[in-house]
């Protein structure tokens, strides 16, 4: 049950690597956390409420989205301080292999659902003078082979973050966090069968390591706190310096 006067956070992709850290950090900071994911609620996820949501369907099917919004509003007791659009899907493939369905799913989960959720909960976040935080990616700016669908979705998410910042003005603060390699299943999936390359990944970051999910969550908590109210429309790199590095074999 939620507690009156406590701040409330709604977090998507809550059972994933970064999602779990977001839930824990916001819960530990005293937020009522309502978590969502496409999976069933894991028994060890400590949150005030949980709702299973398929964000691809949420983006496609207006009736389903309305039902989900109603359920979430009920669980949230019609209050929301922070919406964290964290869920994403990473379908790897290039121009030879990516299907129409791959593109639709990628853009629905990674881009359209964050917009529609922001739109759906605007009255509540606005009333709370709250904040939307989109979890983007370094792939919004710097990418590699076979990431075209994912990279395009994250570049568009960055564009959407900036455009909504202009659109929403002072009503709601909106920002994005753009991590590089963070130690989660999503990252490991991209390195399946490439253990040696995964090992090299850490050392290719100027900080000589991969990032941890809790670092993303702590940055989100700082953004949500409102202590830095002027932070609005920003896409903040959290990349151990790799985005500053020139790869040059000479």
Ligand X SMILES: NC(=O)c1ccc[n+]([C@@H]2O[C@H](COP(=O)([O-])OP(=O)(O)OC[C@H]3O[C@@H](n4cnc5c(N)ncnc54)[C@H](O)[C@@H]3O)[C@@H](O)[C@H]2O)c1
Chain residues in the site for ligand X (CB under 6 A): 13, 15-19, 37-39, 53-56, 86-89, 109, 135, 137, 179, 181-182, 184-187
CB of 103 to ligand X, least distance (A): 14
Q: What is the largest CA-CA distance in the chain?
A: 61
**80 or 220, CB closer to ligand X?**
220
CB of 38 to ligand X, least distance (A): 4
CB of 56 to ligand X, least distance (A): 4
Distances (CA, A) of 205 to 58, 116, 180, 241: 36, 35, 9, 6
CB of 127 to ligand X, least distance (A): 26
**83 or 135, CB closer to ligand X?**
135
**88 or 125, CB closer to ligand X?**
88
**127 or 236, CB closer to ligand X?**
236
**126 or 143, CB closer to ligand X?**
143
CB of 142 to ligand X, least distance (A): 11
How far apart are alpha carbons 241 and 250 in whole angstroms?
A: 20
CB of 147 to ligand X, least distance (A): 11
**31 or 58, CB closer to ligand X?**
58
Residue nearest to ligand X (CB): 16
């Amino acid at each position: 049950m939620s507690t009156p006067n406590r701040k409330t956070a709604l977090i998507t992709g809550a059972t994933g690597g970064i999602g779990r850290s977001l839930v824990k950090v916001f819960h530990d900071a005293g937020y009522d956390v309502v978590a969502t994911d496409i999976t069933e609620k894991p028994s060890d996820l400590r949150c005030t409420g949980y709702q299973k949501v398929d964000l691809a369907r949420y983006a496609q099917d207006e009736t389903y989205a309305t039902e989900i919004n109603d359920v979430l509003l009920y669980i949230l007791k019609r209050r929301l301080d922070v919406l964290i659009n964290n869920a994403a899907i990473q379908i790897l493939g290039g121009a030879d292999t990516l299907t129409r369905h791959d593109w639709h799913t990628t853009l629905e989960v990674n881009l359209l659902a964050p917009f529609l959720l922001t739109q759906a909960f605007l009255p509540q976040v606005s009333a709370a003078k709250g904040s939307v935080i989109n979890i983007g990616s370094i792939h919004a700016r710097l990418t590699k082979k076979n990431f075209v669908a994912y990279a395009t979705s994250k570049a568009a998410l960055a564009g959407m973050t900036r455009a909504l910042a202009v659109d929403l003005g002072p009503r709601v603060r909106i920002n994005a966090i753009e991590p590089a390699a963070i130690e989660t299943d999503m990252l490991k999936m991209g390195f399946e069968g490439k253990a040696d390359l995964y090992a090299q990944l850490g050392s290719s970051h100027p900080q000589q390591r991969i990032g941890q999910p809790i670092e993303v969550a702590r940055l989100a908590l700082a953004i949500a706190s409102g202590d830095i109210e002027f932070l609005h429309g920003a896409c903040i790199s959290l990349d151990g310096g790799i985005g500053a590095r020139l790869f040059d074999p000479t």
